[in-house]
Amino acid sequence: MLAGGAVGPGLPAAAAAPSPVQARQPGTGHLFRPISADDEEQQPTEIESLCMNCYRNGMTRLLLTEIPFFREIIVSSFSCEHCGWNNTEIQSAGRIQDQGVRYTLTVRAQEDMNREVVKTDSATTRIPELDFEIPAFSQKGALTTVEGLISRAVSGLELDQPSRRANEEAMAERIDEFIVKLKELKQVASPFTLIIDDPSGNSFVENPHAPRKDDALVITHYNRTLQQEEMLGLQAEEPEEKPEEEDLRNEVLQFNTNCPECNAPAQTNMKLVQIPHFKEVIIMATNCENCGHRTNEVKSGGAVEPLGTRITFYITDPSDMTRDLLKSETCSMEIPELDFELGMAVLGGKFTTLEGILKDIQELVTKNPFTLGDSSSPGQTEKLQEFSQKLNQIIEGNMKAHFVMDDPAGNSYLQNVYAPEDDPEMKVEHYKRTFDQNEELGLNDMKTEGYETGLASQR
């Protein structure tokens, strides 16, 4: 069963000429301000625009905001005081991400229906238990909840029911039965699965247990197929001729790019670095002279290792905070004493120190807007404060803890100050990857031996 876009075609309303823009301009500062209930300067821009229902003038409100864990969005809302028609939608204001994302949520309780959900235009929504699917680009983007997604689907199916009953009565009866099943999902009489698959990588499902791991939510990042690239309007890169090999180890390469914060022209520096007792990595750093934003990223300079690597380090002394650390995009981190786990691709690739990565974790957890202000549930603020205090104790050396790095690709590293001897506080394990881990790394369908024979037989 497919659910079409019954929210209404096009934008919320046709914007009139920017004539009497009765605009209440947002406060000064950054164009996209972090979403916050305490920010009184963050006000929507109001534009008088044409109502597509009664063809009289209504009001469109635009709010440019930034949600951590989801990037920048534009929230638009239209209302007509003459006929009462209204409509809301969101649009992603950021770029398409390097990888697609798939959220698989097992809804077991009524609390799961209240999870915050950001669904973009390009996302496909599925409920396997009902064989139900909302195709990509059939609905406008929405900032809602799990219950809101189901209610939106029900409204879309009910919209054309009167005409179906008049022309196709049997079809209308089957849809009525299906609508009843969708409504029953809201009661959560039995668990069901909600899958949001977004090739653009810009959708989001809330984890209400942050900073702890959410056992009901599985997040998978994947490489887009050629069909998905074409659907998003992206052109596949043509293979380039290999230039003559050059020794780049002693050179810092520079190329032009745009600042991810203010979109002003900036320069990115790239350097190939050899890490002692490890391997070569590529360090990229961007510095924006316009807004002062700085960022750095680390890419592995080699191939995926034959075995995965799990590094378990026991933090016992404040001097441990100065150890160099390389975290690849495929590395997950864990602190068992705090019951904390951070999945792969959350902080991206980083070359920093142990203290630096712990402070990045602290900032990531404590500044999540879904756990602060009006969005926080009772007791959640106390849990975050307790987590932050314990993390500070670890950084200051007042609390001993284990720090675990698990990288299926084997491209992460934690400095051994006793090298080439073994570190008594560090345990490095090499393990064989599971089928699911190879699937996430794209290795199951990769054939590196004997492929010439297969190509010759096809010809």
pLDDT digits over 368-418, tens only?
666 665 656 667 778 888 888 999 999 998 999 999 999 998 888 898 888
Listed in sequence order, the residues at least 6 apart from 307 whose beta carbon sits closer than 8 Å to its beta carbon are: 410, 430, 431, 432, 433
User: Is residue 141 a part of any domain in this protein?
Assistant: yes
Residue 25's pLDDT band (boundaries 50, 70, 90)? very low
Residue 315's pLDDT band (boundaries 50, 70, 90)? very high
pLDDT, mean of residues 5-29: 40
Helix (H, G, I), strand (E, B) or coil at 185: helix
Same structural domain, 52 and 124:
no
Which pLDDT score is estimated for 427? 93
Name the DSSP class of 141.
B
Cross-sheet strand order for the sheet of 204-205: 142-145, 116-119, 204-205
pLDDT, mean of residues 167-183: 91
Q: How many CA atoms lie within 13 A of 111 on its CB side?
A: 6
Same structural domain, 317 and 420:
yes
Which pLDDT score is estimated for 12? 40
Integer Cα distance of 231 and 123 in angstroms: 11
- Which residues is 61 bridged to in the sheet? 46, 77
pLDDT, mean of residues 112-130: 91
Which pLDDT score is estimated for 375? 58
User: Is residue 129 a part of any domain in this protein?
Assistant: yes
Same structural domain, 104 and 222:
yes
Which pLDDT score is estimated for 299? 72
Beta pairing class for 132-134 and 14-15: unpaired
pLDDT tops 50 at residue 71 = yes
- Which residues is 194 bridged to in the sheet? 105
Which pLDDT score is estimated for 410? 87
Same structural domain, 88 and 116:
no
- Residue 161 tokens read as 């029911």
Structurally, the chain folds into a number of domains equal to 4
Please state, for a pLDDT cut of 70, what percent of the chain lies above it.
78
Least confident of 135-144, 247-256, 266-275, 399-408: 247-256
Integer Cα distance of 389 and 102 in angstroms: 33
pLDDT, mean of residues 73-96: 81
pLDDT tops 70 at residue 48 = yes
Q: What is the CATH number of the domain that holds 261?
A: 2.20.25.420
Residue with tokens 């109001």, as numbered in its chain: 46
Domain containing residue 38: 33-92
User: Is residue 248 a part of any domain in this protein?
Assistant: no
Same structural domain, 44 and 143:
no
pLDDT, mean of residues 155-165: 87
Which pLDDT score is estimated for 337? 92
Residue 226 φ/ψ, nearest 5 degrees: -65, -40
Same structural domain, 433 and 387:
yes
Which pLDDT score is estimated for 454? 55
How far is residue 56 from each of residues 8, 11, 18, 21, 42, measured CA to CA in Å? 17, 16, 16, 16, 28
| Residue 183 host element (H or E) | helix 169-185
Residue with tokens 């500044």, as numbered in its chain: 367
Cross-sheet strand order for the sheet of 100-107: 132-134, 124-127, 192-198, 100-107, 217-222
Q: Which of 25-39, 91-105, 247-261 has the highest mean pLDDT?
A: 91-105
Which pLDDT score is estimated for 104? 95
Listed in sequence order, the residues at least 6 apart from 48 whose beta carbon sits closer than 8 Å to its beta carbon are: 16, 19, 20, 21, 22, 57, 58, 59, 60
- Statement: the pTM of the whole predicted model exceeds 0.85: no
Summarize pLDDT for 187-240 with one digit per residue, the tens: 998 999 999 999 988 888 988 887 788 889 999 999 998 888 888 887 655 555
User: Is residue 287 a part of any domain in this protein?
Assistant: yes
Which pLDDT score is estimated for 144? 87
Integer Cα distance of 456 and 459 in angstroms: 5
User: Is residue 6 a part of any domain in this protein?
Assistant: no
Domain boundary among 43, 61, 92: 92
